[in-house]
Amino acid sequence: MPPEFKADLAERYVTCVPGEIAISTVPELAEVTQEWADGISENCSDLSGTIVDSAVDVDTPADVFITAPGQTPTCNAAASSPIGIDAVAVAVSVEGLDGVIFSPALLHRALSGGMTSWADSELQELNPDVELTDTPVVLRTSARPQDINALNDWMGRLDAAGWPGAPSGLVADVAFDAEAVITELETDGTISVVPASLVVNNSLQSVSIQTSPDLEPVYLNTDTVISAGTQMTATTSGSIVTAALDPALVPIPPAGSDVALEPWQALNQFTITVCSGANEMAGRAFARFVLRLDSQGVMIVSGFTELPEQIRTAGIAAVSEGLPEPSAPPEGSIETGPTEFPSDEPLEETLEEEVTDAATPEPTS
């Protein structure tokens, strides 16, 4: 079955496998994961998911891990795929400077402690129409390792001379307390490397990047992150899908446009891993549910970015290995219950039903 067709079926019908799975997730996706767990339970009477803290509840090994960059699941992976994106932002706490333009070289100087005033002459040259004030620059030094790495990769590609490496003023810290960071950003003049989701969910100000003197600055918003997502490519090995951004690829314009926006290429991705074992098939069914467009919508309303379609399609094909194929309801039926496990219907019969004159079933949400 072509991956695109399999992805389409995953949208229309929820595949259910009996089981009770334990899910370990990163704190920033705790609420999103709970919505997914609730959603699979609502659609499948015999499949449920419970969030566990693997580091604390050692007696309940996780069947599924949702991780951020740099994290490794503590199990043998049967399947895995990216499930969503969060960009990296540089937040600023100076009134009137939302979208203020930085070059990679100036940003490196600012994040290394070399820019001491918001009336900096180089900053003024890049922003001639902005009235800057002589507010002291307050550098928040702590940043998550994955955010430093993503920003470092992008800025280094743009200007290797002006951005010779990770800024000396930043200190990698895996601990991240969103409320504490927001409190720190209340200090006037603060500049900080933070997740874009934090900026979106709290209406914070952030900088824009002058990627080239010949191009318009790249502003951090959903569209520029999506544009970067079109530059991502998937690599599949068995049931394992990995994705990486290829800056050499030309961004794909959005529907209805002939021109793609300059991409915001400082991206991080979240990954779902299904552990091998007795609950593998139930875990795969949950992963497939997470990769549905309806489920991806939960990421969007939570300040994240949905998975690029080319990566999502590859992920659905990989995590679906061994699962029953979704089957349409009987001809003439208006019921759209989830696919039961195992499915007794051969694939050929399923495909034939798709082209009958039966009423089009409503998607299962």
Instruction: Give the pLDDT confidence score for residue 365 in this predicted structure.
Output: 40
Question: Three-state secondary structure along 114-150?
Answer: CCCECCCHHHHHHCCCCCCCCCECEECCEECHHHHHH
What would the two tokens of residue 124 be? Answer: 């003024």
List alpha helices for the chain, DSSP H.
3-12, 30-43, 104-111, 121-126, 145-158, 178-184, 196-201, 222-229, 280-290, 293-301, 309-319, 347-353
282 contact partners, CB below 8 Å, separation of at least 6: 17, 18, 19, 20, 21, 47, 63
Choice among 1-10, 70-79, 150-159, 305-314 with the minimum mean pLDDT = 1-10
pLDDT tens-place string over residues 246-304: 999 999 998 888 889 999 999 999 999 999 999 999 999 999 999 999 999 999 999 99
Closest listed residue to residue 64, CA positions, set 74, 239, 55: 74
Instruction: Give the pLDDT confidence score for residue 53 in this predicted structure.
Output: 87
Closest listed residue to residue 215, CA positions, set 172, 251, 267: 251
Q: Is it the case that residue 360 has pLDDT exceeding 50?
A: no
Q: Cα 239 from chain centroid?
A: 20
In the chain, where are the structural domains located?
3-84+234-244+267-353, 87-224
Categorize the per-residue pLDDT at 26 as very low, low, confident or very high, splitting at 50, 70 and 90: very high
| Higher per-residue pLDDT: 176 or 360 | 176
Q: For residue 157, give the DSSP letter.
A: H
Q: Is it the case that residue 355 has pLDDT exceeding 80?
A: no
**Residue 120, H or E segment:** none
Look at phi and psi of residue 149 and say left if phi exceeds 0, alpha if psi is from -120 to 50, else beta: alpha
Other beta carbons within 10 angstroms of residue 252's beta carbon come to: 16
Pick the CATH number of 87-224 from 3.40.47.10, 3.40.190.10, 2.70.70.10, 3.60.150.10: 3.40.190.10
pLDDT tens-place string over residues 54-105: 767 767 799 999 999 999 999 999 999 999 999 999 999 999 999 999 999 9
What would the two tokens of residue 315 be? Answer: 């992920």
Q: What's the CA gap between 58 and 146, in Å, rounded?
A: 26
pLDDT tens-place string over residues 108-144: 999 999 999 999 999 999 999 999 999 999 999 999 9
Instruction: Give the pLDDT confidence score for residue 364 in this predicted structure.
Output: 46
- Give the CATH class of 3-84+234-244+267-353: alpha beta
Instruction: Give the pLDDT confidence score for residue 149 in this predicted structure.
Output: 97
3-84+234-244+267-353 and 87-224 share one fold: yes
